Amino acid sequence: MMPQPDLILQLDILLNKPALCAVLAGIIGLLVGSFLNVVIYRLPIMMHRNWRKECLAHLELAAEAEQEPFNLVLPLSRCPNCNAAIRPHQNIPVISYIFLKGRCAHCRSPISPRYPIIEACTAIASAIVVWHFGYAPQAAFALLLTWSLIALSFIDIDHHLLPDSITLPMLWLGLLLSVSDVFTDSHAGIIGAVAGYLALWTVYHLFRLATGKEGMGYGDFKLLALFGAWLGWQYLPVIILLSSLVGSVIGITMMVVAKRDHTIPIPFGPYLAAAGWIALLWGNDINQFYLRSAGF
């Protein structure tokens, strides 16, 4: 049965209301944030297991005994302390954490507040994206990028890794979107991807030649290339400037206030991700402000 024209019209009217779209995006963001918690925890473990398996095969050593399936779906969520299964009603984003008072329903061991924080941040970021772009294709793609950046940021904080399994598909998607001028044109997107990668690649090698140390990882090159593909080369200076500024301020603050050892590396991915997300939403305004201030 075909949908009634009046129903389609009413739905279209509702979806064109920014506030309603933002609320719906926030609810979806809560659910996605719960899944991102799984990705952030499990994907690095999956990568390490796969690397270990490849190393054993390369060294022609006996493979380890098969373990239970471990992926983004299985095993089902369990308490890390008592191994009790987490039931669906105990896994409602943010709400379950509040009702359980931040403790396991079975053994009462504390649950990290990071889980509801990621869920809430994903919801807020999703609502902001949809409020900014409205009911448009750009909003859907910007949500995908936002969710990917959240996962990448927290994985980098935990493991100093920016998984290719997230970064590269999003880079290719950005290039495909540039063909249809969704965020930028293909000319600017292709140049942006190349320039984004080479910019940090050059900094990396100059720093290594000067100090004998590695200042960043190759994942950072790919992440900046991703933003170049999505937004175009014109936004790269803003992203580099914002990420460097925020990274410097936070790094110095951590050394002064938290007495963090300056020799301990600080992941650069979260700062790049935050700067790229800001550029996605307000990069044009920032560029225009800079050009006006410079008298252009």
What are the sequence ranges of the domains in the chain? 17-135, 137-296
Which pLDDT score is estimated for 260? 65
CB 118 within 8 A of CB 154: yes
Q: pTM, whole model, 2 decimals?
A: 0.90
Mean pLDDT by runs of 10 across the 296 residues of the chain is 54 68 93 96 93 85 77 84 83 90 87 94 97 91 98 95 96 97 96 96 90 84 97 95 84 70 78 95 86 70
Residues paired with residue 85 on neighbouring β-strands, in sequence order: 78
Which residue type occupies 271? Y
Which pLDDT score is estimated for 227? 98
The burial of 21, by beta-carbon neighbours within 10 Å (0-12 exposed, 13-18 middle, 19 or more buried), is given as: buried
Cα three-residue angle 213-238-280, rounded to 5 degrees:
115
Query: What is the rounded distance in angstroms from the CA atom of residue 161 to the CA atom of residue 159?
Result: 5
Which pLDDT score is estimated for 63? 74
